[in-house]
Structure 1
Amino acid sequence: MSWARELEELRRREALAEQMGGTDKLARQHARGKLDARARLAALVDPGSFREIGKIAGKASYDEDGELAGVLPAPFLFGKAEINGRPVVATADDFTIRGGAADAGISRKMVQAEKMANELRLPLVRMIDGTGGGGSVKTLEQIGATYIPAVPGWGDVVTNLETVPVVALALGPTAGLGAARVVASHYSIMVRGLSQIFAAGPAVVDGLGEGYRGSQDHAQAKEELGGSAIHTRNGVVDDEVESEAEAFARARHFLSFMPEHVGQLARRGACDDPVNRREEALLSLVPREDKQVYSMRRCLDMVADKGTLFEIGRMWGRAAITALARLDGWPVAVLASDPSFLGGSWDAKTSEKVERFVALADRFRLPIVHLVDNPGFMIGREAEMAGTIRYGVQAMNAVYRARVPLASVVLRRAYGIAGSAMSNAERFQYRYCWPSGDWGSLPIAGGVEVAYKSELEAAADPAAELAAIRERLDQVASPFRSAERFNVEDIIDPRDTRPLLCEFAGLAWRRLAGE
Structure 2
Amino acid sequence: MTWEKELEELRRREALAEEMGGADKVARQHSRGKMDARARLDAICDPGSFREIGKIAGKGHYDENGDLAGLTPAPFLFGKATVNGRPVVATADDFTIRGGAADAGIRRKMVQAEQMAHELKLPIIKMVDGTGGGGSVKTLEQIGATYIPAVPGWGDTVKNLDTVPVVALALGPTAGLGAARIAASHYSIMVRGLSQLFAAGPAVVDGLGEAYKSAEDHQQAKEELGGVDIHTRNGVVDDEVASEEEAFARARYFLSFMPEHVGQHARRVEPTDPADRREEALLSLVPREDKQVYSMRRAMDLILDKGTVFEIGKNWGRAAITALARLDGWPVAVVASDPSYLGGSWEAKTSEKVERFVRLADQFRLPIVHLVDNPGFMIGREAEMAGTIRYGVQAMNAIYRATVPLASVVMRRAYGIAGSAMSNADLYQYRYCWPSGDWGSLPIAGGLEVAYKSEIAASDDPEAELARIKERLNKVTSPFRSAELFNVEDIIDPRDTRPLLCEYANLAWRKLKADG
Q: Same fold (TM over 0.5)?
A: yes
Maintained 8 Å contact 2:103/2:133: no
1:288 counterpart letter in structure 2: R
Question: Structure 2 CA distance, aligned partners of 1:316 and 1:247?
Answer: 18
Aligned counterpart, 1:56: 56
1:302 counterpart letter in structure 2: L
What secondary structure is seen at the aligned counterpart in 1 of 2:409?
strand
Aligned counterpart, 1:373: 373
Aligned counterpart, 2:167: 167
Does 1:35 pair with 2:35? yes
1:259 counterpart letter in structure 2: P
Question: Structure 1 CA distance, aligned partners of 2:215 and 2:437?
Answer: 51
- Tell me the CA shift for residue 452 of structure 1: 0.9
Maintained 8 Å contact 1:49/1:82: yes
Which residues of 2 match residues 1-400 of structure 1 at below 5 A? 1-103=1-103, 105-213=105-213, 216-400=216-400
Maintained 8 Å contact 1:58/1:103: no
Maintained 8 Å contact 1:195/1:227: yes
- Tell me the CA shift for residue 322 of structure 1: 0.2
What secondary structure is seen at the aligned counterpart in 1 of 2:283?
helix
Unpaired runs of 5+ in structure 1? none
Maintained 8 Å contact 2:344/2:373: yes
Q: Deviations over 1:424-474 (max 9, x none)?
A: 000000000000000000000011111111111211111111111111110
Q: Deviations over 1:485-512 (max 9, x none)?
A: 0000000000000000000000000000
**TM-score with structure 2 setting the length:** 0.99
What secondary structure is seen at the aligned counterpart in 1 of 2:422?
coil
Aligned counterpart, 2:497: 497
Farther off after superposition, 312-321 or 208-217: 208-217
- Tell me the CA shift for residue 278 of structure 1: 0.1
**TM-score with structure 1 setting the length:** 0.99
Tell me the C-alpha RMSD between the 2 structures: 0.9
What secondary structure is seen at the aligned counterpart in 1 of 2:419?
helix
- Tell me the CA shift for residue 210 of structure 1: 3.4
Maintained 8 Å contact 1:202/1:222: yes
- Tell me the CA shift for residue 342 of structure 1: 0.2
Maintained 8 Å contact 1:214/1:225: no
- Tell me the CA shift for residue 107 of structure 1: 1.1
2:89 counterpart letter in structure 1: V
What secondary structure is seen at the aligned counterpart in 2 of 1:125?
strand
Aligned counterpart, 1:464: 464
2:452 counterpart letter in structure 1: Y
Question: Structure 1 CA distance, aligned partners of 2:102 and 2:2?
Answer: 37
What secondary structure is seen at the aligned counterpart in 2 of 1:77?
strand
Maintained 8 Å contact 1:259/1:364: yes
Unpaired runs of 5+ in structure 2? none
- Tell me the CA shift for residue 143 of structure 1: 1.2
Identity, % of aligned pairs? 83
Aligned counterpart, 2:405: 405
Maintained 8 Å contact 1:59/1:103: no
- Tell me the CA shift for residue 134 of structure 1: 2.6
2:389 counterpart letter in structure 1: I
Maintained 8 Å contact 1:214/1:224: no
Question: Structure 1 CA distance, aligned partners of 2:214 and 2:476?
Answer: 58
Question: Structure 1 CA distance, aligned partners of 2:104 and 2:66?
Answer: 19
Question: Structure 2 CA distance, aligned partners of 1:138 and 1:401?
Answer: 50
- Tell me the CA shift for residue 105 of structure 1: 4.5
What secondary structure is seen at the aligned counterpart in 2 of 1:353?
helix
Maintained 8 Å contact 1:189/1:238: yes
2:258 counterpart letter in structure 1: M
2:260 counterpart letter in structure 1: E
Q: Deviations over 1:223-275 (max 9, x none)?
A: 11100011000100000000000000000000000000000000001111110
Maintained 8 Å contact 1:78/1:113: yes
Cα distance, 1:121–1:470 mapped onto 2, change above 3 Å: same
What secondary structure is seen at the aligned counterpart in 1 of 2:102?
coil
Q: Deviations over 1:334-381 (max 9, x none)?
A: 000000000000000000000000000000000000000000000000
Maintained 8 Å contact 2:94/2:129: yes
2:184 counterpart letter in structure 1: A
Maintained 8 Å contact 2:416/2:441: yes
Maintained 8 Å contact 2:98/2:104: no
Aligned counterpart, 1:487: 487
Question: Structure 1 CA distance, aligned partners of 2:134 and 2:52?
Answer: 23
Question: Structure 2 CA distance, aligned partners of 1:13 and 1:63?
Answer: 15
Question: Structure 1 CA distance, aligned partners of 2:233 and 2:276?
Answer: 37
2:70 counterpart letter in structure 1: G
What secondary structure is seen at the aligned counterpart in 1 of 2:382?
helix
- Tell me the CA shift for residue 209 of structure 1: 2.3
Question: Structure 1 CA distance, aligned partners of 2:195 and 2:35?
Answer: 13
What secondary structure is seen at the aligned counterpart in 2 of 1:514?
helix
Question: Structure 1 CA distance, aligned partners of 2:345 and 2:216?
Answer: 41
Q: Deviations over 1:89-131 (max 9, x none)?
A: 0000000000000245531111000000010000000000012
Maintained 8 Å contact 1:215/1:221: no
Maintained 8 Å contact 1:77/1:91: yes
Maintained 8 Å contact 1:317/1:353: yes
Maintained 8 Å contact 2:212/2:221: no
Question: Structure 2 CA distance, aligned partners of 1:155 and 1:487?
Answer: 47
